[in-house]
């Protein structure tokens, strides 16, 4: 049986683990976070040292995937005058929740939290969602906004190890589509099976291709987490943390997005305004697979459908 792409990455990371250099000072891996005006979460991972900054691209990626996590590190997070502390777990991960001062709220918009471990400090992007946001746009990454051919083992390995944020191709029209959603007031978050170790590369790809700034929820990839679902609990967590928000979901036909989004719609009746599935494979499956979802080939189709439903302003330009 052919190995799944995520398991292949875990196997390669373990195989190249002996290539690590001697630990220097710890490093922080800080994907962009999402928060509310009354409560903000800051998530990250502590590594023994900074990996993957030198050498050929494939070697840098392997070093990033094989980076050794630092357990038991004392982490301090400061955000707009509020401070919280945590201790990193067995996989180096930590998360803190911060509330504003009594009687105050955090201002909506893009901010940064200061994260400190020992003498190391780094900035964690935080997007505070405005109370009047119309909905939350939740998007997949692979083959939804970036062309990674995740269902083809050879191609996904090539894209992972030999492409960079600068060379990985974007799906035409998707950045402009997401800009339309952002102009409608929707915050954006990406939920992806890409390993959390590659968060800096994904963030750079999104910035380079002019996607609106958003949060990143990536797979905590390791021997204990490479199997099983990652997107379902991420969606459930978003639904619980943003109980007043409705959702617009965007994914692709290559893996299980149609099934996952359909199940999320059933479990959260009335909260999903629309689910869009990009046709990423020549034979995406029977029509029954997309019941209650919208299958599209061109992002302009999504723009037209969303505008007709009042989710976007009419005439928002998607074509270059």
Residues of the chain with CATH 3.40.50.1000: 136-308
What residue spans in the chain does CATH classification 2.60.40.10 cover?
Answer: 5-128
Say what the alpha-carbon torsion angle 197, 200, 203, 205 is, to the nearest 10 degrees: -100
The superfamily (CATH) of domain 5-128 is: Immunoglobulins (2.60.40.10)
pTM: 0.85
pLDDT tens over the chain, length 320 residues:
344 555 555 555 554 444 444 445 788 999 999 999 999 999 999 988 655 454 444 445 545 555 688 999 999 999 999 999 999 998 899 999 999 999 999 999 999 999 999 999 999 999 999 999 999 999 999 999 999 876 555 545 555 544 577 788 999 999 999 999 999 999 999 998 888 888 888 999 999 999 999 999 988 765 545 555 789 999 999 999 999 999 999 999 998 999 999 999 999 999 999 999 999 988 899 999 999 999 999 999 999 999 999 999 888 888 76
**Exposure of 247 by Cβ count < 10 A (0-12 exposed, 13-18 middle, 19+ buried)?**
buried
Instruction: Report, at the CATH architecture level, how domain 136-308 is classified.
Output: 3-Layer(aba) Sandwich (3.40)
**C-beta separation of 136 from 248 below 8 A:** yes
**Which H helix or E strand runs over 84?**
strand 82-87
Q: Helices 57-65 and 5-15, interaxial angle, to 10°? A: 90
DSSP structure class, residue 176: H
Measuring CA to CA, which residue among 213, 243, 251, 255 is closest to residue 6?
255
Q: State CA 8 to chain mean position distance.
A: 20
Among candidate residues 191, 181, 188, the one with its CA nearest the CA of residue 307 = 181
């Amino acid at each position: 049986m052919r190995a799944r792409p995520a398991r292949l990455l875990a196997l390669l990371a373990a195989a190249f683990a002996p290539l690590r250099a001697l630990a220097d000072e710890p490093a922080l891996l800080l994907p962009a976070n999402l928060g509310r005006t009354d409560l903000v979460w800051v998530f990250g991972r502590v590594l023994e040292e900074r990996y993957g900054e030198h050498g050929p691209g494939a070697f840098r990626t392997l070093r990033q995937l094989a980076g050794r996590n630092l357990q038991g590190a004392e982490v301090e997070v400061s955000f707009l005058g509020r401070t919280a502390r945590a201790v990193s777990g067995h996989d180096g991960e930590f998360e803190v929740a911060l509330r504003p001062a009594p009687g105050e709220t955090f201002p909506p918009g893009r901010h940064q939290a200061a994260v400190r471990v020992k003498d190391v400090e780094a900035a964690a992007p935080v997007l505070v969602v405005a109370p009047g946001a119309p909905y939350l746009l939740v998007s997949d990454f692979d083959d939804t906004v970036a062309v990674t051919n995740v269902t083809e083992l050879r191609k996904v390995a090539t894209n992972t190890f030999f492409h960079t944020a600068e060379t990985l191709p974007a799906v035409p029209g998707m950045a402009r589509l997401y800009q339309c959603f952002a102009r409608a007031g929707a915050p954006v978050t990406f939920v992806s099976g890409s390993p959390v170790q590659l968060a800096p590369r994904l963030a750079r790809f999104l910035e380079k291709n002019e996607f609106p700034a958003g949060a990143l929820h990536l797979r905590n990839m390791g021997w204990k987490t490479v199997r099983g679902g990652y997107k379902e609990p991420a969606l459930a967590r978003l639904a619980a943390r943003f109980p007043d928000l409705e959702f617009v979901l965007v994914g692709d036909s290559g893996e299980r997005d149609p099934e996952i989004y359909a199940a999320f719609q059933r479990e959260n009746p009335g909260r999903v305004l629309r689910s869009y599935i990009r046709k990423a494979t020549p034979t995406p499956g029977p029509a029954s697979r997309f019941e209650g979802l919208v299958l599209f080939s061109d992002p302009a189709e999504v723009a037209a459908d969303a505008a007709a439903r009042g989710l976007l302003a009419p005439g928002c330009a998607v074509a270059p």
